Structure 1
Amino acid sequence: MGRILFFSETQKKENNGGTKAREDIDHILKEKGYLPVECRMCRDFTSPKNVIDSLISIRLNWRRLSRVVQNDDTLIIQYPFGDYKTNLKQVKKFKNKKNLKVVALIHDLPSIQDNSIESSEEIELLKLMDVIICHNEKMKEKLIELKLDQDKLVCLEIFDYLCENVEKRQSKNDGITVAGNLSSVKAQYIYKLIEELKGKDLKFNLYGPNFELDSYELYHGSLSPEKLIKEIKGSYGLIWDGDSLEECNGVFGRYQTINNPHRVSMNLVAKMPILIWKNAALSDFVRKYNVGVVIDSLLDLEDTISNISDEKYEEMQKNLEVLSEKLRTGYFTNKAIDSALEKLGEK
């Protein structure tokens, strides 16, 4: 039985949940006593220069691993991790030469999320992994459909969100909160919903980059994850994507049917009950823990909110007290990592 190592990639400082999720998992793996292999940032493809830098970095990162890896070690990778062709070549090499076992913890599946790579290319790399930690049962089903071995798959259930305790919501009448990328390309529904609800009592608290209205009194800017969790306002967290008020549609909307949006975890830690589309993968989680309401359409939003009694809201708040403690302390990540290592005979 070898040691357990993990790639610890330098993160670009941005006001988004993706960076926070990777940093939290790094922290949890270090707390478990695993050996970090410090890596250069290798996933920035926003300009030709950054593409070149990332391609150089991914090669240097594998070279750093070669200096410390020993026979029969296990490597944990937060996926995706840089250039696919380089990773394919290097994983094959280390498995052959060092009998390296590789665990991939999925953050996103780019071939499905935004079609930025070919599905065949992504699956070829994932098939090399010894264990894959995917988001949920719906993502697991999708990966099995794509011919991945179901015995290799472990479900995370939800991303953790490490932070200090947050006070419970004081009222169920402080509006609906949307936190995330507010670009109309991803979230056109927001602009339609603001127009739809003009003159009505329901209000929105908006947080995130790329907001496109010149003035909106309830837009609170784009905050770092650390600041957002302390300052976020509202009584409910809305999880939706696309340009329709009747369903989550388009590439981003359809992705919700298999994805664990990190903003769900943030809202739950902030002790805001979730409002989520009925076909979203995490609607099952919301039902299981009774921490929100599953909705068919945003056209019914006003009625949905008005039908939540004080007793129902208080019940969800009590459930959130228990669940937020798990999310803040890394419960779900620890459980998934332990299950993955059990499959490898490492626990």
Structure 2
Amino acid sequence: MTNWITRLNGAANKEKTASGFIANHDAAESAKEIGFSHINYFRYNGKEESNDALNARLDGILAAVRPGDTIVYQYPMWQIDLKFEMRFLAKLRRKPGAKIIALVWDILSWLHDDRDRDYTGDWSLKALNEFDLVICANPKMAQRLKTQGGVKKPILSWDLSDSRYDGPLRAKSFQKKLYFVGRLDKSDFSQYKAQTKMALIGGMGPKSEPLSDAVLNQENLIFHGELPNDEIPYMFDGGFGVINYATENLDNAFFKGNGTYGQYNNPLKLSQYLAGGIPVIVASNSAHADFVREKNIGLVLDDLNKIDDILDKMTVADYQKMLDAVKPFQEAVSTGFFTKRALMEALRITQLGLADNLVD
């Protein structure tokens, strides 16, 4: 019996900068280190592909998977059209005795839509009931999947995502500075009025409007542009990493649900800041607010414009305590600890029937 995990392959530039590719690869490499094999696939444009051609392609991708194997399906597969994913899952379901586990990165319906409607018929949620086990971001997301998403299958909490990194790190000191890593078109920086400078690392989406001149000329913002993922942790020499920023007034048709969704997901930037060894700033309604507060690995702050007063009152000793608290988590997320733990627990549940750690 073989344990498998899906791995998305693609263009070299996306594997360095696209968060979906990076997260997928990190999980696949962590799984490989505990004995999993990879099911490799590419991002196909299959809109014009015939059903016979698609079936032949999928049969080739899944040729090595045997009855009774366990397959961790990184969800979603980031395909251009849904047909590929639907048939991929259907073919796995027809493998006799196979155990199929969803390792959920995102629920696309909730990310792209924030209307008050029934989402349970959307494939991104309905399909989760085709798996034997669902690994989701955290307990808060698990409860939303159960109550609003119609997910009836057992759910295991990932708790925290990883951000694998084995490069050098700089020494950290108490500095009045902030970092924000991510797509700049998913946040509204025009509302940031504090004097504490914030370094922005990231680019714009392909269909996004350019940032306004007013934002580009803000003296409290420093633009670094898009950088390879494995170069970012070395930039951090102090300060704090900002997880999310105001999106209420953001006119972004593609990420209409982003403001609400940020209360439930595991932001990849959270793990990247921890991998770089700096404390973080999260909103009080985020899934990780209690964790950040209890572990003293950062600040819980809803209005980022209050950061000047907070940093004015903070001492070097206060900041050093946070750095010390961050260190064990830096080592954990950098080496894939949380993914490995979740996958081993998933095997414990699906193969041994020991389900005591499932989300109630």
TM-score above 0.5? yes
Change (3 A) 1:140 1:60: farther
Change (3 A) 1:319 1:224: same
Q: Given the alignment, which residue of 72, 76, 81 partners 1:76? A: 72
1:206 paired to 2:203? no
Residues 244-264 of structure 1: per-residue CA shift (max 9 Å, x gap): 59xxx9621211111111011
1:223 paired to 2:227? yes
Q: Is the 8 A contact 2:66 2:95 kept in 1?
A: no
In the alignment, the residues of structure 1 paired with residue 266 and residue 323 of structure 2 have an alpha-carbon distance, to the nearest angstrom, of: 21
Instruction: Specify the alignment match of 2:7 in structure 1.
Output: 8
Q: C-alpha displacement at 1:79, in angstroms?
A: 0.5
> TM-score scaled by structure 2?
0.82
Instruction: Specify the alignment match of 2:190 in structure 1.
Output: 191
Q: Is the 8 A contact 1:103 1:130 kept in 2?
A: yes
Q: Which consecutive unaligned segments of at least 5 residues does structure 2 have?
A: 205-209, 250-254, 354-360
- Look up the equivalent residue of 1:187 and give its one-letter code: S
In the alignment, the residues of structure 2 paired with residue 53 and residue 137 of structure 1 have an alpha-carbon distance, to the nearest angstrom, of: 40
Matches within 5 A, 1:109-124: 109-115=107-113, 119-120=120-121, 121-124=123-126
Instruction: Specify the alignment match of 1:243 in structure 2.
Output: 247
Q: C-alpha displacement at 1:344, in angstroms?
A: 0.7
In the alignment, the residues of structure 1 paired with residue 120 and residue 55 of structure 2 have an alpha-carbon distance, to the nearest angstrom, of: 23
In the alignment, the residues of structure 1 paired with residue 143 and residue 324 of structure 2 have an alpha-carbon distance, to the nearest angstrom, of: 32
Q: Is the 8 A contact 2:170 2:236 kept in 1?
A: no
1:147 paired to 2:142? no
Q: Is the 8 A contact 1:84 1:122 kept in 2?
A: no
Q: Which consecutive unaligned segments of at least 5 residues does structure 1 have?
A: 43-49
Q: Given the alignment, which residue of 27, 45, 70 partners 1:25? A: 27
Secondary structure of the corresponding residue to residue 126 of structure 2: helix
- Look up the equivalent residue of 1:35 and give its one-letter code: S
Q: C-alpha displacement at 1:84, in angstroms?
A: 4.0
Secondary structure of the corresponding residue to residue 344 of structure 1: helix
Change (3 A) 1:60 1:161: farther
Residues 14-70 of structure 1: per-residue CA shift (max 9 Å, x gap): 32433221111111122222221221224xxxxxxx463899897565322442121
In the alignment, the residues of structure 1 paired with residue 88 and residue 199 of structure 2 have an alpha-carbon distance, to the nearest angstrom, of: 46
Instruction: Specify the alignment match of 1:330 in structure 2.
Output: 336
> Percent identity over the alignment?
23
Q: C-alpha displacement at 1:163, in angstroms?
A: 1.0
In the alignment, the residues of structure 2 paired with residue 330 and residue 17 of structure 1 have an alpha-carbon distance, to the nearest angstrom, of: 16
Q: C-alpha displacement at 1:118, in angstroms?
A: 5.7
Q: Given the alignment, which residue of 288, 307, 315 partners 1:301? A: 307
- Look up the equivalent residue of 1:276 and give its one-letter code: V
Two-structure CA RMSD over aligned residues (Å)? 2.8
In the alignment, the residues of structure 1 paired with residue 26 and residue 287 of structure 2 have an alpha-carbon distance, to the nearest angstrom, of: 22
Secondary structure of the corresponding residue to residue 259 of structure 2: helix
Instruction: Specify the alignment match of 2:288 in structure 1.
Output: 282
Q: C-alpha displacement at 1:107, in angstroms?
A: 0.9
> TM-score scaled by structure 1?
0.84
Instruction: Specify the alignment match of 1:36 in structure 2.
Output: 38
Q: Is the 8 A contact 2:169 2:233 kept in 1?
A: no
Q: Is the 8 A contact 2:170 2:237 kept in 1?
A: no
- Look up the equivalent residue of 2:152 and give its one-letter code: D
Instruction: Specify the alignment match of 1:131 in structure 2.
Output: 133
Q: C-alpha displacement at 1:101, in angstroms?
A: 1.5
Range 318-327 or range 31-40, more displaced: 31-40
Q: C-alpha displacement at 1:232, in angstroms?
A: 3.9
Q: Is the 8 A contact 1:16 1:224 kept in 2?
A: no
How many residues of Structure 1 are paired with residues of Structure 2 in the alignment?
A: 327
